[in-house]
Amino acid sequence: MDLLGEHAFGKLNVQNAQYVLELLDQAFELCRSQQCQAMVTAPLQKSVINDAGVNFSGHTEYLAAKAGVSQVVMMLCGDVQFGSPPRPILRVALVTTHLALQDVPRAINQALVAKCIAIIDHDLKSYFGITHPKIRVAGLNPHAGESGYLGQEEILHITPAIQEASARGIYVTGPYPADTMFDLKSLAEVDVFLAMYHDQGLAPLKFATFGTGVNVTLGLPIIRTSVDHGTALDIAGRNMADSSSMYAALKLAYDMVQKNRRYGTSGS
């Protein structure tokens, strides 16, 4: 693989977009063939891939398509950076990922929410060693719909999905109002918070973990982790970037490999 165009720190070049995708393809195949045990990805500038004519919304969706998986779950996790040590771990998963806000309500349905819950339950057992994961689910609307007065998604889709998962033995509760669901006092009782859309879940996550979070793709046949931040082109090549999130992503990938060996599972 060779770069086709000129390259410089912090300068995007659409001619090199295919090179970036080929690197992802190669890493994925190395993992799928078990020559490597995990993939850890750095930030990627989505706009330059799209400018090259490739419909690309992010690593998560791209790797799902490569794997032929109909649904994956984006989950971010990190140590809460305030309060007295030992600091608790906050994990936040998303039902929808890189969607315009106006498209979120149409995307949410019972099958989607139920599948997300099932993937989370499976992979937290397989890769995190949590024998009986406790999942807390947010509503979509303010006050979780206020019994239908502020929206019907909770009644029509989210609550039935929670009931379906509960009937299958998964420990899941909700829907909760998103503005009160993320309670630091509840971290000892909740393994994952499931949000309906990107900023609903990641705003509190990134506030609490202060840039040390890790992005994990659940539901893939491989282990994949990533940093929780973007490309920061303005400081590229200036020796100013904070490597904390990359270090955390590498460490979590290693831990997931070890847990997967210990529990004798092979992924979703």
d(CA 229, CA 251): 17
Sign of CA dihedral 216, 217, 218, 222: negative
Looking up tokens 């806000």, which residue turns up?
101
Would the pLDDT of 266 be above 60?
A: no
Q: Which residues contact 149 (CB under 8 A, 6 or more apart)?
A: none
**pLDDT tens, 103-126?**
999 999 999 999 999 999 999 999
d(CA 54, CA 15): 12
DSSP for 111-122 reads: HHHHHHHHHHHH
**pLDDT tens, 123-169?**
999 999 999 999 999 999 999 999 999 999 999 999 999 999 999 99
* DSSP tag of 221: S
Query: Which three-class secondary structure state does DSSP give residue 151?
Result: coil
CATH number of 69-222: 3.40.718.10
Would the pLDDT of 239 be above 50?
A: yes
More confident of the two residues 84 and 209? 209
Instruction: Tell me the pairing of strands 134-138 and 192-195.
Output: parallel
Give the pLDDT score at 98: 86
Give the pLDDT score at 63: 93
Give the pLDDT mean for 11-38.
Answer: 92
Beta bridge partners of 224: 39
Give the pLDDT score at 262: 67
Estimate to the nearest angstrom the gap between the alpha carbon of 223 and the chain centroid: 12
Contact status, residue 136 vs residue 93, Cβ threshold 8 Å = no
Give the pLDDT score at 268: 40
Name the nearest CA neighbour of 138 among 166, 172, 115, 107. 172
Would the pLDDT of 76 be above 90?
A: yes
More confident of the two residues 146 and 185? 146
Looking up tokens 């490999």, which residue turns up?
257
Ranked by mean pLDDT, which of 85-89, 181-185, 263-267 comes out on top?
Answer: 181-185
* Phi and psi at residue 137, to the nearest 5°: -110, 135
Where do the domains of the chain lie? 1-56, 69-222
Estimate to the nearest angstrom the gap between the alpha carbon of 22 and the chain centroid: 22
What is the C-alpha end-to-end distance of the chain, expressed in Å? 31
CA 202 to each of CA 59, 124, 147: distance values in angstroms, whole numbers, following the listed order: 17, 19, 26
Instruction: Tell me the pairing of strands 89-94 and 192-195.
Output: parallel
d(CA 138, CA 111): 16
- Tokens matching residue 52: 């090259």
* DSSP tag of 155: I
Would the pLDDT of 267 be above 50?
A: no
Give the pLDDT mean for 246-257.
Answer: 94
